[in-house]
Amino acid sequence: QVRLIESGGGLVQAGGSLRLSCAASGRTFSYYAMGWFRRAPGKDREFVAAINRPGGSTYYADFVKGRFTISRDNAKNTVYLQMNSLRPEDTAVYYCAASVSGSVYYSRNYDYWGQGTQVTVSS
C-alpha cells in the first residue's frame, strides 16, 4: 500500500515558479514509476510528467517541456515537480501518482493517487 501526499501548491503570478512535492509512504517507493497529472477547470485530467523507477528517464507533455522538471529522491520517498514560467492555463489541481507497470502517459496505468494540490496562476 502506498499513500501519496502532495504539497507546494498555491497562488502565483504568470511567469512565477512553484515546486510541488509528493511524499510517499512505505519502503517500496523505488519500485514505482511516478507521474504528475493535472485537472484544469472545465477539462479532463491530463498527463503532465513522469519519471521511471531509478530516476534516469523522464517524460513530459509537450505543453510543459522546457518549463517543468520532474525529479525523485528515493531515499526520501519523494517526487518533485519544479514548475517555472507558469502561465494562467497551468491553473489546475495537480495530482501525483504511482505506477507499477504500463505506459506512464495514461492514468489507467497508475495504482495509487494523491489527493491533489491546487495551483492557481494569475495573469
In the three-class reduction of DSSP (H, G, I as helix; E, B as strand; rest coil), residue 71 is classed as: strand
Contact 69, 61 (CB under 8 A): no
Residue 55 has a pLDDT of: 81
The 10s digit of each residue's pLDDT in 37-92 is 999 999 999 999 999 988 889 999 999 989 999 999 988 999 999 999 999 999 99
Rounded to whole angstroms, the Cα distance separating 52 from 11 reads 29
Joined grid coordinates for residue 22:
509528493
Across the chain, mean pLDDT equals 94
Residue 27 has a pLDDT of: 67
The 10s digit of each residue's pLDDT in 4-42 is 999 999 999 999 999 999 999 976 788 899 999 999 999
Q: What is the mean pLDDT of residues 96-119?
A: 95
